[in-house]
């Protein structure tokens, strides 16, 4: 099987090790991973700010890059995957040709844990892990994509690691993309509240499916001076491959 | 980030709110309690089906609003009410004031009405020499404190018991107590005298029933009943989108509204008031006036934001909202706070005033999940943000940044140049843009993922 | 649903909202229950508009015509709703609905044949020319406006007793 990876701009620019972890994970199951050249950003930052002209440009570019390929498109981010699956078609309501293309792209797209669980059955693979892990459930991942169980199934399957639940796991962490820049005091207060629940859980690692959220949470953990690791779920799972 | 000078200074409002420990504790307690009660109240029930039915019925009314308003007005008049149509807030205030002045009434008891806040009724009546006595406990507390409501269901929830105790001791001259039961008794004694001597009562309405011309009030304390059945004159103020077709439609909303608002199966009292007292009856105002407020609604229900007017004012979206939980209602600087407040304020008062409120959301989607009538709040918020951009009301720096984004996103080469520049100039960029959150993001790497796999 | 099942459902739901539901099956039991309930009360108002209201025995020194100052009001509800445990009071036939609002203790008599199973059953039966006031009463009056701490008994009665007859 061959899949196409959309790394996301955050992974490409700031967290390349997550991209590497995703590739190792997929290859572990014998999946060939294509990385279409020319990919940039899914357009979510512009879209959530209300700049539909700019987000449409991003969507057009994404579609032009990926329509030259085939097979599933795997994205290690709930917000990017939801942007492609749920919002791309809407962006082209006035353009039937592009809308059709967007729908095809959307139907090929999986958020990473969706692909790992439903296609690769990775939760049955017996990965190993360590320590006490808790999980932050990102907003678009849960409410727009409906991905709630898949990350939990993967984390609970880790042998040697203890999964501890996070109180109010699906409460917004305060990232909100442009929100973090426009209302930083609120963003930090929400992240602080998230750190409170993380510390109460007793976990030594907090994970999630979105680097935007994890960045905001990591900043709050640093400000708190807490000794909790923040890792993307791809990295947590890939650790068990060593 | 700058905002228009006539605009609500939302960010500025949040800063002291976030530092206010009492407020933070009060809002955490309130929103979490309500959210749990709501979830418990909905457990095991066919809520999705109910939401769908309620939503469809509300849309049907909105799609035929003008006819329903006419039908309601006709039937209310048939039952003996004087029906007034008010184009805007000013007209509505004037109608209420002139009815009271015609009867030479200088003091009136009032049960809670959010629409009366929207039209700034109390201030106007006070200017006309008419004393308004708020009788809902929460409204009574904030009236004494000289504040506006911070939540549409529990107006004084931003205060803790000690603050209320101090307020009562200072302003009412009673002994200090921080026991809610004792404080409630204090208010009850004062207000009982008011109810029994009142010559007029003002109320809102949760719903208006077109076929019978009735108004419906959901209450718990009994003050709503006192205001609407004891004085000889009753004035009800409501906005036109509150109409439902017939009494047979009411159960749908009885099942959803109290559960969504407070987690109750039903409120202690539900009053269906139809016109004025009829021959042979011993209950009902002798004279009843109904003020139907438009304030832009008949136009707005034809537009792309019309689904907002399905809202039944339950407050569930406030209780679910992370931003509202952090800062409470006053930070929104508007009659209506929280997610529904952002949309309504933008629609009713315009983007110049409400634009900054559109920042007050992370678009997390929690509000849309809990709305009993399926108002698509996240979708409406996103649409309003688009509209704000189209009207050129976002900060210039942001507009330039987005224009730049639009250029580089289509060009892998420019995108990579941007990444390199980000890596090189990060130390400077974070100093300049620290307040824009850049300092909280990690530095762009020297070797991007793309470079590593190529 | 059978009549007995409806009565049981009504009493269960009335109990959930602290409406002190009691079942009586004849006028003897009715009299006993009332004597007990009114023993502590010093002034009682009763409209005397229905057969059951007229069967309520109140010692003359306790009976008052002024519901404004009475400490208890005992009256028959026009209907009840099992789904929610609610009583219905309507202004038809000269009933003063506010009489049950002002005293601290409200005692409501419900004839079992006037119990509707659901809200829909009740509201579909009203028609489009209702009396001036229909009030559903479900439990005593309450507020949670201060810190969401529940206080029972605000402006309306703090105590509601329901007698299903």
Residues in contact with B251: Cβ distance below 8 Å, sequence separation at least 6, in sequence order: C118, C119, C120, C123
pLDDT at B4 over 70: no
- Contact: A50, B385; criterion CB under 8 Å: yes
One DSSP character per residue, B387-427 reads: HHHHTT-S-HHHHHHHHHHHHHTT-HHHHHHHHHHHHHHHH
Strands B214-219 and B207-209: antiparallel
The per-residue pLDDT for C33 is 94
Total beta-carbon pairs less than 8 A apart between chain B and chain C: 183
Alpha-carbon gap: C140 to the closest alpha carbon of chain B (Å): 7
Q: Which residues of B259-288 are buried (b: 16+ CB within 10 A; e: fewer)?
A: bbbbbbbbbbbbbbbbbbbbeebbbbbebb
- Contact: B272, C124; criterion CB under 8 Å: no
At residue A38, the 3 state secondary structure works out as: coil
Helical residues (DSSP H) of B173-274, grouped into ranges: 180-197, 223-229, 250-261
Residues in contact with B305: Cβ distance below 8 Å, sequence separation at least 6, in sequence order: B343, B347, B380, B383, B384
- CB nearest C133 (choices: B33, B226, B271): B271
Distance CA(A159)–CA(A130), nearest Å, equals 8
**B65-127+199-302 under CATH 3.40.50.10420, yes or no:** yes
Distance CA(C6)–CA(C13), nearest Å, equals 11
Q: Which helix (H) or strand (E) holds A5?
A: strand A2-5
Alpha-carbon gap: B59 to the closest alpha carbon of chain C (Å): 21
Chain B nearest-CA residue for A58? B409
Interchain CB contact of A190 with B (< 8 Å): yes
The per-residue pLDDT for B439 is 79
Distance CA(B19)–CA(B10), nearest Å, equals 15
- CB nearest B410 (choices: A11, A57, A218): A57
Tell me, yes or no, if the pTM score tops 0.90. yes
Q: Which residue has the tokens 């509150």?
A: B242
pLDDT at B182 over 60: yes
The three-point CA angle B53-B55-B59 to 5° equals 120
CA distances from B3 to A6, A179, B112 (A): 37, 15, 32
Distance CA(B237)–CA(B291), nearest Å, equals 5
Distance CA(B296)–CA(B65), nearest Å, equals 13
Q: What is the ipTM of this complex?
A: 0.97
* Residues in C touching B262 (Cβ below 8 Å): 144
- Contact: A40, B366; criterion CB under 8 Å: no
| Chain CA centroid to CA C15, Å | 13
What is the four-CA torsion angle of A155, A160, A165, A166, rounded to 10 degrees? -80
Phi, psi of A102, rounded to the nearest 5 degrees: -60, -40
How many C-beta atoms lie closer than 10 Å to residue B124's C-beta?
18
* Residues in B touching A51 (Cβ below 8 Å): 386, 389, 402, 405-406
Parse chain C into domains and list their residue ranges: 3-164
Alpha-carbon gap: B56 to the closest alpha carbon of chain A (Å): 22
Q: Which helix (H) or strand (E) holds A74?
A: strand A73-75
Q: Name the B residues in 68-97 with CB < 8 Å from any A CB.
A: none
CA distances from B149 to A8, A176, B183, B228, B405 (A): 44, 28, 19, 22, 41
CATH code linked to domain A123-239: 3.40.50
Chain B nearest-CA residue for A46? B402
* Residues in B touching A139 (Cβ below 8 Å): 362-366
* Residues in B touching C96 (Cβ below 8 Å): 282-283
The three-point CA angle B170-B172-B176 to 5° equals 55
The three-point CA angle B20-B26-B29 to 5° equals 135
How many C-beta atoms lie closer than 10 Å to residue A216's C-beta?
28
Distance CA(A183)–CA(A164), nearest Å, equals 31
Phi, psi of A200, rounded to the nearest 5 degrees: -65, -25
Percentage of residues in chain B with pLDDT exceeding 70? 98
- Contact: A179, B359; criterion CB under 8 Å: yes
* Residues in A touching B327 (Cβ below 8 Å): 186
* B18 token code pair: 């976030």
Interchain CB contact of A185 with B (< 8 Å): yes
At residue B219, the 3 state secondary structure works out as: strand
Distance CA(B132)–CA(B440), nearest Å, equals 50
* Residues in B touching A188 (Cβ below 8 Å): 440
| Chain CA centroid to CA A18, Å | 10
pLDDT at B1 over 60: no
Handedness of CA A201, A205, A208, A210 (dihedral sign): positive
Interchain CB contact of C41 with B (< 8 Å): no
* Residues in C touching B284 (Cβ below 8 Å): 91, 132-133
Contact between C77 and C108 (Cβ < 8 Å)? yes
The per-residue pLDDT for B432 is 72
Sheet containing C21-23: give its strands across.
Answer: C21-23, C159-164, C105-110, C72-76, C44-45
Q: Which residue has the tokens 């990473």?
A: A112
- CB nearest C155 (choices: B180, B181, B223): B223
Alpha-carbon gap: B268 to the closest alpha carbon of chain C (Å): 5
Distance CA(A109)–CA(C110), nearest Å, equals 62
Confidence of residue B358 (pLDDT cuts 50, 70, 90): very high
Phi, psi of B286, rounded to the nearest 5 degrees: -70, -35
Interchain CB contact of C98 with B (< 8 Å): yes
Under-50 pLDDT residues of chain A: none
- Contact: B449, A46; criterion CB under 8 Å: no
- CB nearest C151 (choices: B30, B135, B181): B181
- Touching subunits of A (3+ CB pairs, under 8 Å) are B
- Contact: B385, A48; criterion CB under 8 Å: yes
The per-residue pLDDT for B2 is 38
pLDDT at B3 over 70: no
At residue B359, the 3 state secondary structure works out as: helix
Confidence of residue B429 (pLDDT cuts 50, 70, 90): confident
The per-residue pLDDT for B454 is 82
- Contact: C141, B268; criterion CB under 8 Å: yes
Parse chain B into domains and list their residue ranges: 10-39+315-390, 65-127+199-302, 136-190, 400-453
Choose, out of A16, A20, A50, the residue to mutate when testing the contact with B (most B CBs < 10 Å). A50
For chain C, what is the largest distance between any 2 Cα atoms, rounded to a whole number of angstroms? 46
Residues in contact with A119: Cβ distance below 8 Å, sequence separation at least 6, in sequence order: A72, A110
Distance CA(C118)–CA(C79), nearest Å, equals 12
The per-residue pLDDT for B448 is 94
Q: What are A94-143's pLDDT values in tens digits? A: 999 999 999 999 999 999 999 999 999 999 999 999 999 999 999 999 99
The per-residue pLDDT for A242 is 62
Assign 3-state DSSP to chain A and report helix, strand, coil percentages, each to 5: 55, 15, 30
Q: What are B359-383's pLDDT values in tens digits? A: 999 999 999 999 999 999 999 999 9
Distance CA(B143)–CA(C65), nearest Å, equals 36
At residue A93, the 3 state secondary structure works out as: coil
Alpha-carbon gap: B111 to the closest alpha carbon of chain C (Å): 12
Q: For chain B, what is the mean pLDDT?
A: 95
Q: What is the DSSP letter of B122?
A: H
Contact between B71 and B210 (Cβ < 8 Å)? yes
Q: What are B87-106's pLDDT values in tens digits? A: 999 999 999 999 999 999 99
Choose, out of A87, A91, A145, A182, the residue to mutate when testing the contact with B (most B CBs < 10 Å). A182
Q: Which residue has the tokens 């509240």?
A: A193
Distance CA(B287)–CA(A41), nearest Å, equals 65
What is the four-CA torsion angle of A112, A115, A116, A117, rounded to 10 degrees? 120
Looking at domain C3-164, its CATH architecture is 3-Layer(aba) Sandwich (3.40)
CA distances from A178 to A48, A225, C49 (A): 7, 26, 67
**Which residues on adjacent β-strands are paired with residue C81?**
C86, C116
The per-residue pLDDT for C127 is 86
- Contact: A180, B361; criterion CB under 8 Å: no
* B51 token code pair: 């939401």
Q: In angstroms, how far is the first alpha carbon of chain B from the final one?
A: 40
Parse chain A into domains and list their residue ranges: 2-117, 123-239
Distance CA(A40)–CA(B407), nearest Å, equals 11
- Contact: C145, B283; criterion CB under 8 Å: no
């Amino acid at each position: 099987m061959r899949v196409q990876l959309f790394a996301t701009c955050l992974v490409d620019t700031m967290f390349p090790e997550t991209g590497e972890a995703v590739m190792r994970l997929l290859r572990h199951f014998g999946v060939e991973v294509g990385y279409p050249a020319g990919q940039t950003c899914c357009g979510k930052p512009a879209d959530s700010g209300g700049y539909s002209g700019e987000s449409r440009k991003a969507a057009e570019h994404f579609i032009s890059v990926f329509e030259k390929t085939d097979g599933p498109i795997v994205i290690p981010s709930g917000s990017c995957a939801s942007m492609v699956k749920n919002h791309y078609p809407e962006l082209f309501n006035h353009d039937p040709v592009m809308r059709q293309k967007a729908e095809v792209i959307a139907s090929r797209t999986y958020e990473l844990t969706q692909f790992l669980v439903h296609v690769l059955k990775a939760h049955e693979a017996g990965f190993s892990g360590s320590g006490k892990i808790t999980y932050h459930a990102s907003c678009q991942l849960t409410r727009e994509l409906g991905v709630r169980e898949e990350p939990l199934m993967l984390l609970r399957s880790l042998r040697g690691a203890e999964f501890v639940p996070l109180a109010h796991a699906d409460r917004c962490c305060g990232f909100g993309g442009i929100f973090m820049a426009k209302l930083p005091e609120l963003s930090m207060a929400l992240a602080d509240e998230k750190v409170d629940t993380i510390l109460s859980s007793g976990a030594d690692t907090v994970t999630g499916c979105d680097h935007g959220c994890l960045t905001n949470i990591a900043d709050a953990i640093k400000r708190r001076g807490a000794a909790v690791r923040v890792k993307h779920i791809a990295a947590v799972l890939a650790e068990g491959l060593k | 980030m700058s905002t228009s000078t006539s605009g609500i200074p939302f960010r500025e409002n949040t800063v002291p709110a976030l530092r206010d420990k009492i407020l933070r504790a009060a809002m955490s307690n309130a929103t979490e309690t309500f959210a749990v009660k709501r979830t418990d109240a909905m457990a095991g029930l066919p809520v999705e089906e109910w939401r769908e039915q309620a939503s469809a019925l509300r849309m049907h009314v909105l799609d035929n609003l003008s006819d329903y308003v006419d039908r309601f007005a006709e039937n209310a008049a048939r039952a003996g009410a004087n029906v007034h149509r008010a184009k805007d807030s000013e007209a509505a205030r004037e109608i209420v004031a002139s009815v009271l002045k015609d009867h030479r009434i200088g003091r009136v008891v009032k049960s809670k009405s959010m629409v009366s806040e929207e039209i700034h009724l109390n201030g106007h009546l006070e200017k006309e020499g008419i004393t308004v006595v708020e009788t809902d406990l929460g409204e009574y507390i904030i009236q004494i404190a000289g504040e506006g409501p911070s939540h549409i269901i529990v107006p004084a929830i931003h205060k803790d018991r000690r603050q209320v105790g101090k307020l009562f001791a200072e302003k009412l001259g009673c002994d200090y107590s921080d026991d809610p039961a004792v404080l409630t008794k204090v208010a009850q004694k004062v207000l009982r005298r008011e109810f029994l001597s009142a010559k007029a009562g003002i109320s809102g309405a949760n719903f208006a029933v077109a076929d019978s011309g009735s108004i419906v009030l959901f209450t718990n304390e009994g003050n709503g009943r006192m205001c609407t059945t004891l004085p000889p004159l009753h004035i009800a103020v409501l906005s036109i989108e509150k109409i439902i077709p017939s009494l047979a439609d009411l159960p749908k909303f009885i099942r959803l509204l109290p559960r969504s608002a407070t987690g109750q199966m039903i409120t202690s009292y539900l009053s269906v008031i139809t016109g004025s007292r009829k021959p042979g009856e011993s209950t009902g105002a002798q004279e009843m006036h109904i003020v139907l407020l438009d304030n832009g609604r008949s136009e707005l229900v034809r537009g792309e934001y019309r689904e907002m007017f399905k809202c039944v004012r339950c407050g569930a979206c406030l209780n679910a909202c992370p931003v509202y939980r952090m800062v409470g209602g006053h930070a929104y600087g508007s009659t209506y706070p929280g997610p529904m407040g952002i949309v309504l304020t933008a629609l009713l008062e315009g983007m110049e005033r409400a634009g900054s409120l559109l920042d007050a959301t992370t678009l997390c989607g929690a509000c849309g999940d809990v709305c009993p009538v399926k108002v698509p709040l996240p979708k409406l918020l996103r649409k309003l943000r688009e509209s704000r951009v189209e009207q050129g009301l976002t900060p210039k720096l942001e507009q330039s940044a987005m224009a730049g984004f639009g250029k580089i996103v289509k060009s892998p080469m420019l995108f990579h140049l941007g990444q390199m520049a980000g890596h090189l100039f990060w130390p400077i960029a974070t100093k300049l843009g620290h307040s824009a959150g850049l300092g909280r993001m990690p530095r762009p790497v020297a070797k991007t993922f793309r470079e590593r796999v190529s | 649903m059978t009549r007995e099942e409806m009565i049981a459902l009504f009493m269960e739901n009335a109990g959930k909202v602290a409406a002190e539901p009691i079942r009586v099956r004849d006028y003897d039991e009715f009299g006993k229950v009332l004597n007990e309930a009114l023993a502590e009360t010093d002034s009682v108002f009763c409209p005397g508009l229905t057969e059951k209201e007229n069967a309520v025995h109140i010692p003359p020194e306790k009976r008052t015509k002024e519901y404004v100052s009475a400490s208890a009001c005992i009256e028959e509800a026009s209907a009840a709703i099992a789904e929610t445990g609610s009583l219905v009071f309507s202004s038809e036939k000269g009933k003063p609905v506010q009489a049950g609002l002002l005293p601290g203790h409200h005692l409501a008599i419900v004839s079992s044949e006037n119990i509707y199973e659901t809200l829909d059953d009740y509201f579909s039966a009203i028609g489009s020319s209702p009396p001036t006031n229909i009030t559903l009463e479900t439990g005593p009056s309450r507020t949670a406006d201060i810190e969401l701490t529940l206080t029972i008994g605000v402006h309306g009665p703090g105590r509601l007793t329901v007698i299903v007859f």
